[in-house]
Structure 1
């Protein structure tokens, strides 16, 4: 009996160690990819400047374009490896969690289901990135250029001696205000599609910025409780928390018609807990289907959580509001970090 217990413990230890080692590799790879992305951006900007200022420098432009192609190819290969590592780490996390809870490892069917969910989520995120790029290069750029044109016209008009220019200036100011509102709304939509701040600065700064923007548009009361710090989470865990916050707030505002929303994010020694509660009209969770209003959102939240080893629970009753809770278990490495932080704080 003791020999079997030793095998079970050895299996659990190997799963945890493999998960931690691969996460460390993924983290280092992510830092390298971030540097490559910055280098690509600098090179692309340099090429654009050269095209504007010295379009005849064909030899230099060709050299820079070849360098850009090499960087882009390396970045694409690195991003593919990063996605594969991320998917495999999630499979290991699922295996470790299931082995700890039930003493059995997941079979091929579970792995295939997880792979399908991962592919769907990756496709959704890629489509969001594509739309964000198109909006940035299309309507956002048009609005920004239109604002500059209106400002230029106003400065020219202000220097003229003709009568009646006051009314024209007022109209230009009104147009500029409308354009700025449109640009602000377009940028908010881009943030929702692709939370760049999340990738650059992490979960808490991205959440604070998003919640400030949401508060300006929400007609009711938003009460927020965020910790000063969080244990270091994986990029997929951070994205899951961010997307669940987005969907929960969207449902509370648009579908539940809530007047008060309370959002709380906290960390224990075992998991990260997000809770979003509202005083809206509520519903019967068992009656919600994917064709109902908000149905895809609720299903999507659960699927996202499952892919990173977490769980979403939804409580709601007609007329009594809704409470959405997300729990993400910390990996052994992250749990140890949280315990050390707690001892240091104490």
Structure 2
């Protein structure tokens, strides 16, 4: 019934006047029907006359409601689309309807475009600052803490060579503790600043990451790298590395897996990273700081991140990154 009723109004008419025009048209038509029809109302209305007026009023109200609903339906769709907008990848709203509704959609789309651009710029600055801080801390760990522990190791070695026999074993234990501490410092420095990524490339950095995970976990890591991977920007390579690092860290801390699979393959003009474990899994999916950080990094390079998990069936993290010169 609502689709069959048609009242044409100017496309650029403000919403307030558009509703007023619809109401006026409905009441005008209702008045003409009452005036021109043979129906009449006496000074003492009969029950049949009251029924006729009531039916006419009801028809007018229903017609008015259907026309307004039809006019405001695109606005309701815009509101629903706004409620489902992803704060990391806002996208755009459908510019439906006419007049004020289409104007609202266009204005919101312009606002979303500005917010997305500002968010990308802000995320880029924040992540760049984060990487710079990681680099500074790694450098300090390597140059200061690492060198200090090296001096301690050399000093303990000299003391051990001149120490009495009853202290040699104890000094050897101290040297081993200092050496373990030095290895830990170097490992943390490598995690903070993946020098192998800059020196040897993404696949070598991921291989080193998988090896480091296997050394500190009971679960073996099966890794596979597809041939002919398309080139990625340095920022995109860093995002792939950090997402893999976060996914493996989460698997070690929370999943207790028996095995982990890490793969880097080509899919059309994109590179796909996938980390799959057979651990305890989780449900429902919660946006913790680790997952949120991965999503923010993925959005920065226009990548798609999907995380799927089921209790006792493991977790899969999948990152699809467009290659250089492609647009998703």
| Counterpart check, 1:180 vs 2:179 | yes
Match of 1:296 in 2: 289
Which structure has more RCO (C-alpha within 8 Å, separation ≥ 6)? 1
- Which structure has greater helix proportion? 1
Match of 1:137 in 2: 143
Shift, 1:138, TM fit: 3.1
The residue matched to 2:256 in structure 1 has which SS? coil
Q: For 2:177 and 2:226, how far apart are their aligned partners in 1?
A: 37
The count of residues paired between Structure 1 and Structure 2 equals 224
The residue matched to 1:145 in structure 2 has which SS? helix
Shift, 1:230, TM fit: 3.2
Shift, 1:229, TM fit: 5.7
Kept in 1: contact 2:228–2:266 (CA 8 A): no
Could you list the per-position Cα deviations for residues 285-331 of structure 1 after superposition, in whole angstroms to 9, with x for gaps in the alignment? 54x14xxxxx1111111111111110110001222211000000113
The residue matched to 2:265 in structure 1 has which SS? strand
Q: For 1:225 and 1:330, how far apart are their aligned partners in 2?
A: 19
Q: For 1:256 and 1:219, how far apart are their aligned partners in 2?
A: 12
Kept in 1: contact 2:231–2:323 (CA 8 A): no
| Counterpart check, 1:154 vs 2:142 | no
Q: Which runs of 5+ in 1 are unaligned?
A: 1-97, 158-164, 290-294, 335-346
Match of 1:73 in 2: none
The residue matched to 2:137 in structure 1 has which SS? helix
Match of 2:230 in 1: 231
Shift, 1:156, TM fit: 3.6
Match of 1:202 in 2: 201
**Runs of 4+ off more than 6 Å:** none
Q: Which runs of 5+ in 2 are unaligned?
A: 1-90, 93-108
Larger radius of gyration: 2
Match of 2:76 in 1: none
Match of 1:320 in 2: 313
TM alignment of 1:70-219, pairs within 5 A: 107-157=113-163, 165-219=164-218
Kept in 2: contact 1:285–1:314 (CA 8 A): no
Kept in 2: contact 1:285–1:315 (CA 8 A): no
Q: For 2:227 and 2:234, how far apart are their aligned partners in 1?
A: 19
TM alignment of 1:9-88, pairs within 5 A: none
Q: For 1:210 and 1:109, how far apart are their aligned partners in 2?
A: 35
Kept in 1: contact 2:230–2:269 (CA 8 A): no
The residue matched to 1:111 in structure 2 has which SS? helix
Q: For 2:316 and 2:154, how far apart are their aligned partners in 1?
A: 45
Match of 1:251 in 2: 250
Shift, 1:122, TM fit: 1.4
Match of 1:48 in 2: none
Change (3 A) 1:171 1:228: farther
Q: CA RMSD in A?
A: 2.8
